[in-house]
């Protein structure tokens, strides 16, 4: 398989529709029945609205306090940046994530409005949607297609070639994870807009290369003004002091986001695939999601609330257009249906258990030989 992911054409990849087609039909029917029987919407409810207000407040209240000039000393300012880091992660996991999937509301304008909040975290909403909604959700753990686990500095898949540096990746991974959101702000959005343009993926967002690049630059500029320039002007602190807080915020957010998402896909039990020479996959799309995804800490309601229900990652991947507040109840239906068809339903009892599996697997991947065969 060509190691150069830029040459991959996502439009040529085909899942096997003949592979147990009844599974997802029955599952989808049962899920629809659940909502109809309980007379509830698949979108956000009052719990979601409260969560949205809470997460947005964690980010924007400290920012407003900072920009009001009420705080002008270093350590109280660091406290504000720290809170903003957790708020930033909370928005990413619990608010904008649903909105950019179209699962927050039946109103497209509401989804776009709330999804736009990602720009206040230094990212660009359109490139994020292409990477996450199109590439990751459609082609989970498929080498050369899923950009969530494709980079040169780490080996997340046994389909990627082995380098000596990967031997130590389980140890340097947390440091790189801290850079996740900062990397998107500084580099990744620009790289992706070029790559997505070449792959013809910008069209799905109604963008040309020129308009996308202009929007990225425009949004980055006002984000820099809002989070770096204005705090220096208002607080009287040096640019270096403000920069420390800014970096701290991104490090906290990046680490949280990376650990949550990686603990759902890069594990000892999850599988990794490459298509055959004709671009065909072994399984149908739904079964592929079961084989490449895992849940964790499903009985921890508080933890689940804080991370946007993404510990129910299986349910999220099968039903990304349903708001995450419903995943706990849907998980019973999904698990029972998977068991009926003798299909895998990966889950870890605790988040720590999932993290342990992730780092154990990172260590193994750093030493394994390249898997050449098609999965």
Note whether residue 373 is domain-resident.
no
Assigned token pair, 336? 């029972």
What whole-number distance in Å separates Cα of residue 250 and Cα of residue 122?
9
Note whether residue 210 is domain-resident.
yes
> Which residue in 126, 140, 97 sits closest to 310, CA to CA?
97
> Which residue in 234, 256, 257, 232 sits closest to 245, CA to CA?
232
Long-range contacts from 367-374, C-beta under 8 angstroms, 24+ separation: 367/162, 367/166, 367/167, 368/158, 368/162, 369/162, 370/158, 370/159, 370/160, 370/161, 370/162, 371/158, 371/159, 371/272, 374/273, 374/274, 374/275, 374/276, 374/282
In which domain, by residue range, is 113 found?
A: 5-365
Note whether residue 371 is domain-resident.
no
Note whether residue 372 is domain-resident.
no
Do the Cβ atoms of 71 and 80 come closer than 8 Å? yes
Give pLDDT, residue 371. 54
Query: What percent of the chain shows pLDDT beyond 70?
Result: 95
50, 194, 280 from 32: Cα distances, Å: 25, 39, 30
- Phi and psi, residue 195, nearest 5°: -65, -45
What whole-number distance in Å separates Cα of residue 341 and Cα of residue 206?
40
Mean pLDDT in residue range 271-281: 93
pLDDT tens column, 130-154: 999 999 999 999 998 999 888 889 9
With 60 as the cut, is the pLDDT of residue 9 above it?
yes
pLDDT tens column, 164-188: 999 999 999 999 999 999 999 999 9
> Which residue in 310, 254, 30 sits closest to 122, CA to CA?
254
Give pLDDT, residue 4. 39
More confident residue, 155 or 375: 155
Give pLDDT, residue 47. 96
Do the Cβ atoms of 227 and 64 come closer than 8 Å? no
Does this model's pTM top 0.85? My answer is yes
Contacts of 151 (CB under 8 A, 6+ apart): none
Mean pLDDT in residue range 252-257: 98
> Which residue in 103, 74, 46, 104 sits closest to 241, CA to CA?
74
Give pLDDT, residue 10. 67
Do the Cβ atoms of 133 and 123 come closer than 8 Å? no
Band (370; pLDDT cuts 50, 70, 90): low
Band (114; pLDDT cuts 50, 70, 90): very high
Do the Cβ atoms of 120 and 222 come closer than 8 Å? no
Assigned token pair, 203? 């069209």
What whole-number distance in Å separates Cα of residue 284 and Cα of residue 204?
23
Note whether residue 374 is domain-resident.
no
Note whether residue 51 is domain-resident.
yes
Q: How many domains does the chain have?
A: 1
Note whether residue 346 is domain-resident.
yes
Chain mean pLDDT for the chain: 94
Contacts of 161 (CB under 8 A, 6+ apart): 3, 370
What whole-number distance in Å separates Cα of residue 231 and Cα of residue 241?
10
pLDDT tens column, 49-74: 999 999 999 999 999 999 999 998 99
**Could you tell me how many residues make up the chain?**
375
Assigned token pair, 269? 């039990």
pLDDT tens column, 235-247: 999 999 999 999 9
Element (H, E) at 207: none
What whole-number distance in Å separates Cα of residue 184 and Cα of residue 130?
14
Contacts of 212 (CB under 8 A, 6+ apart): 126, 127, 193, 196, 197, 202, 205
Note whether residue 86 is domain-resident.
yes
Give pLDDT, residue 354. 98
Band (11; pLDDT cuts 50, 70, 90): low
Band (368; pLDDT cuts 50, 70, 90): confident
Contacts of 46 (CB under 8 A, 6+ apart): none
Give pLDDT, residue 375. 38
Q: Residue 278 burial (CB < 10 Å; 0-12/13-18/19+)?
A: exposed
């Amino acid at each position: 398989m060509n190691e150069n992911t830029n040459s991959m054409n996502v439009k040529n990849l085909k899942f096997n529709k003949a592979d147990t087609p009844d599974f997802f039909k029955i599952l989808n029917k049962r899920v629809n029945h659940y909502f109809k029987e309980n007379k509830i919407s698949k979108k956000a409810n009052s719990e979601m609205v409260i969560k949205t207000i809470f997460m947005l407040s964690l980010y924007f209240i400290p920012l407003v306090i900072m920009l009001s000039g009420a705080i002008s000393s270093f350590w109280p300012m660091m406290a504000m940046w720290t809170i903003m880091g957790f708020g930033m992660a909370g928005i990413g996991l619990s608010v904008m994530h649903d909105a950019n999937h179209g699962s927050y509301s039946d109103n497209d304008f509401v989804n776009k409005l709330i999804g736009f909040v990602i720009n206040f975290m230094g990212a660009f909403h359109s490139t994020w949607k292409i990477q996450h909604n199109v590439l990751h959700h459609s082609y989970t753990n498929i080498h050369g297609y899923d950009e969530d686990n494709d980079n040169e500095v780490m080996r997340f898949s046994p389909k990627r070639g082995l380098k000596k540096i990967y031997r130590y990746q389980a140890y340097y991974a947390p440091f790189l994870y801290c850079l996740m959101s900062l990397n998107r702000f500084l580099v990744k959005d620009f790289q992706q807009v070029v790559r997505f343009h070449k792959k013809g993926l910008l069209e799905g967002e109604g963008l040309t290369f020129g308009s996308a690049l202009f929007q990225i630059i425009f949004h980055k500029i006002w984000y820099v003004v809002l989070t770096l320039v204005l705090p220096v002007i208002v607080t009287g602190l040096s640019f270096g002091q403000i920069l420390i807080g800014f970096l701290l915020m991104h490090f906290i957010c990046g680490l949280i986001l990376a650990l949550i998402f990686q603990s759902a896909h890069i594990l000892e039990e999850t599988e990794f695939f490459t298509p055959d020479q004709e671009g065909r996959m072994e399984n149908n799309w739904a079964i592929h999601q079961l084989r490449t995804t895992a849940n964790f800490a499903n009985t921890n309601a508080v933890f689940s609330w804080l991370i946007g229900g993404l510990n129910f990652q299986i349910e999220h991947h099968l039903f990304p257009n349903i708001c995450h507040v419903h995943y706990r109840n849907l998980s019973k239906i999904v698990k029972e249906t998977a068991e009926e068809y003798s299909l895998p339903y990966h889950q870890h009892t605790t988040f720590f258990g999932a993290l342990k599996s992730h780092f154990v697997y990172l260590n193994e991947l750093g030493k394994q030989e390249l898997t050449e065969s098609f999965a």
